[in-house]
Structure 1
């Protein structure tokens, strides 16, 4: 029997509606009972003192009668919630709901306010104190919505420039590096680069939001670059790093060291952008939503993937940038591979739709091209289409780990695993400081397995598991690799870990279910040794 207790969902945008875990209507009968549940659902930590509740719902009654009315309302609520009644808690001082088992529509990450409805529409308690509370809550919800609603904006403005210090330093190299960072940022958020920080043909045009500077100095014939990205209005430093170069030409060739710093700088800046740009601007809100979505998506967990899709939908609503549709296509692709229970045919149709729309809106965006290329490889098995997109992406953005991985995936599908391995290693190197590095580590583990490099596969798989301890795909591949190498204690510990983090995991399913997402292991015959563990 499952130990997970059922949850209820409470909708308050519009008329109060309460639904049980199976969708059963559990909405309480009686205005006071509905009001009590609604107040608790919208309260901090979903709890309030008894006396406070009595004052809000029975303010015209004496203390004893108000207390008796509250006890009666609690009793009716518990009975009405049926098997979920124990999520309503009470003691002598306070009453509350279990926040872990209650979902409230307006508190959800993907909530979009329906402005045609009112909070708790039609709920008439006929108590002046409750009426005051309800007015305050409606005002608070509207203010929260207005604050997050996008305003008109042309995008983030970046001033990319370089300065030289000392004889022999090459300003061109600094300009190229600063613009590479700026380009990498513009691939992930609507942004523009400006040649001058303060002046523009249109006097009403906004000043630069961010300053991307590369200061060059040359010592003993070798250049060093100090990279700094600041929020121009406040002067806050968002990223800084010293980059020593063997040759100035390393920047022009986008060597691994240069590409790594460019990718890291853009990633760090994007992570902090929502903290320094006004949330009312669409690009800031969209970036905040999409960054949260990436953390959810790269967990590969079913509920988190669904949440990631909702966040990316909101990001696109805030700022219709095709890259968010490309990300949604990748979410769908992962859902397809991870067997999340959704209809496979519908997912494939959505992947195709998101890919087409993303290219319509952002056909020149290398990141969008890369993500669509991934979907073409992993879901649609379109080798030619994936290769074309990935090659364009790499040519346009050689400092982006996603572009190189997309090209690696296309080579793998085209039957060139050796090239895929080298490209994957390059992508993994560039992304080594990413908060989502498990994505590249896992892929490299799979490519190494395909190339008959078990030691390298094991190293990459363990790196992925260290970066994200609950990352199920990494543990799946480690289970087989440990078994093949005779590390049976580690194999059994990994199997136990999978039992805890993956619902429905069994060794029998792992080995015998043809649809289970370990195709490369199965194709290489690496599942057979696990039969000894059954």
Structure 2
């Protein structure tokens, strides 16, 4: 099949390599092509496209309109119809046959136009908002600007990660490198739109001058008779600045399950470090890279837990979604509302009144296979009083989708604990904790280990994890609630009294007996047998 190209800065025209015009007649069909052409990997899910082109119609109507637009495009493509790739969930322009033409039409060397898709006029409020953003973001490379204007950025800037491997050509070493690259790439693509290149997993063809600011990840794998060593180094390939490095040793005598755990932990740390590197001062923030940074900032602020940070996290995530809509960003916003209720028992401090249930429903509709989306859906399903079985199913899907997602493992632990499977809950919680090691959010995952150990009636371990969580985050109320019950059940009156005072500082008017009340945010704790031992004492309001 012939190559097909789309002009960005002149009259909207889709042509094959012989110059034959393949442009569809309908404006919505043209808008659909524009949306795909400016999307990562030239791909979008159907719901996102429907929202941009038929935002004023019901889902059934917009779905039908999308099918009609696809038929229009296929007719106009004729023998080049292989360009359009569709399945049940998504629509793509085949990167094998599609090219973007960003040449600027000139007369006597003077640019005639520098606006993106100048003749494209699609009547839909959402599309109009999208095209305005694109026209601000995408500037011709050779557009002349005055010194007072900011220098234009290259078009379609997307954060880029390049994996390069150094190893002897052993089959086992290559398989290990591929496993690491695929796991980390999966996490990156779930987080935001990254361009990922590797000398093992995908071709670097076409990288050339299209390389935008990004990072190089050097993987080095060596082995001897007893173990394999993996090291990773993250650096700026342009300046050589080193951002992060780490290594692990895999004991070949250990069982396969233990080796897999080590690899997952390493991949999780590498993913977080790659994302962190994009917020370094040496990188200029723009376009989709800004969306990735806003998403990261929002997620980090979420785990600060105070009202101001949660409100700012919601704003950052909303901004990231406006730049590059991804369902998992909505899922995080839904979780902000969940944790706000548990920590502060109110949502009044959030600027946006989007509902928790509405956000997660839309997140699942847009991003039904994203591990974070599935993990939040599992939590919302559980706290909403619906089926524990369905919550467990969603949490399992989350971990199957991305076993290196510590948050997904934590939500799986929570649903196992709620379901009474404390052994499985403990295993999932410990795996989550292993994935974060030195992360600033470690306190969050220490708490889930506390929950699981409490369910297992291993109260000394539960206290150890609860105290670690509260030490790392002294304003985190959830572990303090567990510690109050644990201290009471184990007869540690002095620690109980101190914890009670600390809780009253965080929650003025707190009474110990509130923990038994359905309205009080201690849902899982009330399911555990430890409650019976303290309830029999009528849960006194204070110990002196």
TM-score by length of 2: 0.63
The Cα of 1:241 is off from its aligned counterpart by 1.0
Residue 191 of structure 1 is matched in structure 2 by 194
1:324-339 counterparts in 2 under 5 A?
A: 324-338=329-343
Q: Select between 321-330 and 366-375 the one with higher mean Cα deviation.
A: 366-375
Shift in Å, 1:161: 3.4
Whether 1:216 aligns to 2:221 is yes
Cα distance in 2 for residues equivalent to 1:250 and 1:224: 16
The match for 2:317 is 312
Pairing 1:507–2:511 present: yes
Question: 2:490: which partner in 1?
Answer: 485
Partners in 2 of 1:445 and 1:499 — Cα distance?
Answer: 21
- 1:152, 1:282 within 8 Å by CA — same for their partners in 2? no
Partner of 2:159: 156
SS of 1:162's equivalent in the other structure is strand
CA drift at 1:475:
1.7
Q: CA deviation at 1:424?
A: 1.8
The offset of 1:325, in angstroms, is 0.8
Cα distance in 1 for residues equivalent to 2:237 and 2:509: 51
Contact 2:197 2:203 in 1 (8 A): no
Q: 1:281 to 1:152 in 2, by over 3 A?
A: farther
The verdict on how the C-alpha distance between 1:512 and 1:386 changes in structure 2, with shifts beyond 3 A counting, is: closer
Q: Would the aligned equivalents of 1:160 and 1:178 in 2 still touch at CA under 8 Å? A: yes
Residue in 2 that maps onto 1:11: none
SS at match of 1:531: coil
> Once the 2 structures are TM-superposed, how far is the Cα of residue 215 of structure 1 from its aligned partner?
0.8
Q: Which residue of 2 aligns with 1:44?
A: none
Equivalent residues of 1:150, 1:280 under 8 A apart:
no
What 5-or-longer segments of structure 2 have no aligned partner?
Answer: 1-131, 133-147
1:220 Cα deviation after fit: 3.0
User: Does the residue aligned with 1:460 lie in a helix, a strand or coil?
Assistant: helix
The verdict on how the C-alpha distance between 1:519 and 1:366 changes in structure 2, with shifts beyond 3 A counting, is: closer
Give the match for residue 518 of structure 1. Answer: 522
**Bigger Rg over Cα:** 1
Does residue 474 (structure 1) correspond to residue 479 (structure 2)? The answer is yes
Mean Cα displacement is larger for which, 523-532 or 187-196?
A: 523-532
1:1-80 pair list within 5 angstroms:
none
The answer to whether structure 1 residue 458 and structure 2 residue 467 are counterparts is: no
Distance 1:154 1:362 in 2: 23
Shift of 1:330: 0.8
CA contact (8 A) 2:158 2:212 kept: no
- Asked whether the 8 Å contact 1:159–1:194 carries over to 2, the reply is yes
Equivalent residue for 2:260, pick from 255, 259, 262: 255
Q: Distance in 1 between matches of 2:287 and 2:194?
A: 11
Partner of 1:531: 540
- Is 1:182 paired with 2:191? no
Q: Structure 1, residues 438-496: CA drift from partner, whole Å, max 9, x if none?
A: 11111221222223222221111011112212212222221221222222222211122
1:215/1:226 contact within 8 Å kept: yes
CA–CA separation in structure 2 for the residues paired with 1:277 and 1:200? 26
Structure 2: distance between partners of 1:195 and 1:167? 18
